[in-house]
Structure 1
Amino acid sequence: MLVQGITGREGAFHAGACRDYGTTLVAGVTPGKGGATAAAGVPIFDTVAEAVAATGANTSFVVVPPAFAADALSESVDAGLELAVSITEGVPTRDMVRVMRAVPPGGTRILGPNCPGVISPGKAKVGIMPGFIHREGHVGVVSRSGTLTYEAVHQLSQRGIGQSTCVGIGGDPVIGTYFVDVLELFAADDETEAVILIGEIGGGAEEEAAEFIRRELKKPVVSFIAGQTAPPGRRMGHAGAIVMGGKGTAADKMEALRSAGCTVVESPADLGAAMESQLRG
């Protein structure tokens, strides 16, 4: 992993946290500071391409301000990285549209922006997820909300239920990876036996996920939809969490998931118990 923005306070802190968890940190990238050594003890390069050529990095962790995040992601795409994870909140939607249009078929998988990242407990993480609440196991977690991801994981771990991989896809209107993308990976993953899906109001990603689950996913799914009391037309938290034109309501999403065979809970406090019930059969 390389970290774009490693010389900033947040970049340095989270680079070290990922390294300490087990991720192989090989480089940092900050334009104009090439040739120096980061606080995390890795070399700094001016460009992602230079870092990849020198270290063989295949993943980027983007920790840069909103105005520069899209360009940083584009640089990762141009360098041919396999994965680029952006935690930055407030990236202009138009910038992300430009980035996603430029990703070639089979090119860099972008996670985020405005996401907590990804973690495979006991193996590695890229992002800001608190590793200490996780434990190794066989439940996959995918969520639009970072804090609700942590809540679900904590409940699972407290019940002795470990996780295979946890993915925060982000809450912005335009992101690089959606529910269906992650569900396809969970469906093909032998280490994942069941899935928790945490959605929220706005957009149609949950309905698309429900259709995929109905057709393709033969593993138990427990789901929660945030924003059940949100008034239409008002953004609630995330930039993408807004009900417009009567579409994207929590009720519609919950019904779609129930119809697909998912166990849908009314409160996030019930996620752990519901999954435990599913696993007991």
Structure 2
Amino acid sequence: MNWTSQDKVIVQGITEPQAAFYAQQMKAGSTDIVAGVSPGNGGTEVGDIPVFDLVEQVLTQVDKIDISLIFVDSYQVLDAAREAIAAGIRHIIIFTPEVPPLDTIEIIKYAKASDTLILGPGSHGIVIPQQVCLSKLQSQAYQSGTIGTITTSQYLSYEVATELNQADLGHSIVVSLGNDRIIGSNLPQWLEILDRDPDTKAIVSIGQRITETEEIVTYCQERDYDKPIIVYLAGLKVPQEQIFRDAQTIITNHLSASIPAVNRDRQTIDRLKKAGIKIAKKPSDIPRLIQKAWSK
């Protein structure tokens, strides 16, 4: 993983109001947005960002594109992602929510074949404090530090950030996985990325679904990991659907996206503890659990 402020970024769907707003916000935060893409709007500008009809046209003006941020309509996401991958872009963040599941599965196929990292659909992006802002998140909420945070909740991530900031721990990176039921890169993939990241000394997973916790347990049981993992799962005692977010799991097991509501509070906690994972009952527990893990 090597996201830097020198990465050249495009915004697909830049003429969408939300895309235009966040593109200007990111550019003001030193993100190098070299162009926007919006079919039929080539030759115009959004702020001071030039707009092209096609991704390949941008490549006639710049040597390469490192990252694409996708804001197009949900039914146009598949075409936009394919266009970006075909242009050699290997990091794609899909901000658009509610992408048709079969379209997301197709995107995942293209991504795997080309070794492309997909974040989303329904992602809020990535923040590396004081370095990189590819996000709808408020980057000023996060201080620079050594804690990698993986989240599915924008607002819970702000709560955790407040606690980490007050404890002078800060963040090495904040990753929003996305809120769609099928997503391009899952929790285990990001646990592995952050476990290898030299700037990350501990990992915090913030979630609202049982299945996210099950993914962490499976990851920890299948491999050795070097860094403390802290889980904050909001609403653990509330009965909820078990939602499957990995496309392969859904297809191979002939599952729907979810199964009926259950309360697996005790079972989930026991499995986490057996895997050596620390559990935060509230955001204020997280700094203490990190410090305790480091002191061992």
Aligned mates of 2:146, 2:39 — CA distance in 1: 40
Distance 1:253 1:218 in 2: 22
- How far apart are the structure 2 equivalents of 1:94 and 1:252? 32
Determine which of 212, 234, 256 is the counterpart of 2:271.
Answer: 256
CA distance, structure 2, for counterparts of residue 21 and residue 123 of structure 1:
9
Please give the secondary structure, in 2, of the residue aligned with 1:54.
Answer: coil
TM-score by length of 2: 0.83
1:8 maps to amino acid: E
Q: 1:109 to 1:233 in 2, by over 3 A?
A: closer
Any unmatched runs of 5+ in structure 2? 1-8, 244-249, 251-256
Distance 1:125 1:197, change over 3 A: same
Task: Give structure 1 stretches of 5+ with no counterpart.
Answer: none
2:290 to 250, 275, 279: 275
Deviation, structure 1 residue 261: 0.9
Change (3 A) 1:246 1:231: closer
2:270 and 2:176 map into 1 onto residues whose CA distance is: 23
Question: What do you get for the CA RMSD once the two structures are aligned?
Answer: 2.5
Shift of 1:165: 0.9
The code of the aligned residue for 1:31 comes to P
Helix, strand or coil for the counterpart of 2:200?
coil
Q: Does 1:76 align with 2:69?
A: no
Cα distance per residue 1:16-61 (max 9 Å; x no partner): 111122211111011111111221x121111122223422221011
- Report the identity percentage: 27
2:177 matches 1:169: yes
Calculate the TM-score normalised by the size of structure 1.
0.87
What aligned pairs does 1:1-281 form with structure 2 within 5 A after superposition? 1-39=9-47, 41-55=48-62, 56-201=64-209, 203=211, 205-214=212-221, 215-233=223-241, 244=259, 249=264, 251-279=266-294
Amino acid at match of 1:259: K
Of residues 247-256 and 8-17 in structure 1, the stretch that sits farther from structure 2 once superposed is 247-256
**How far apart are residue 248 of structure 1 and its match?**
9.1
**2 CA distance for matches of 1:57 and 1:221?**
33
Report if the CA contact (8 A) 1:15-1:25 is conserved. yes
Q: Check whether the contact 1:66–1:88 (CA below 8 A) recurs between aligned residues.
A: yes
Q: Which amino acid aligns with 2:90?
A: E
Structure 1 counterpart SS, 2:127? strand
Q: How many pairs does the alignment contain?
A: 274
Larger relative strand fraction: 2
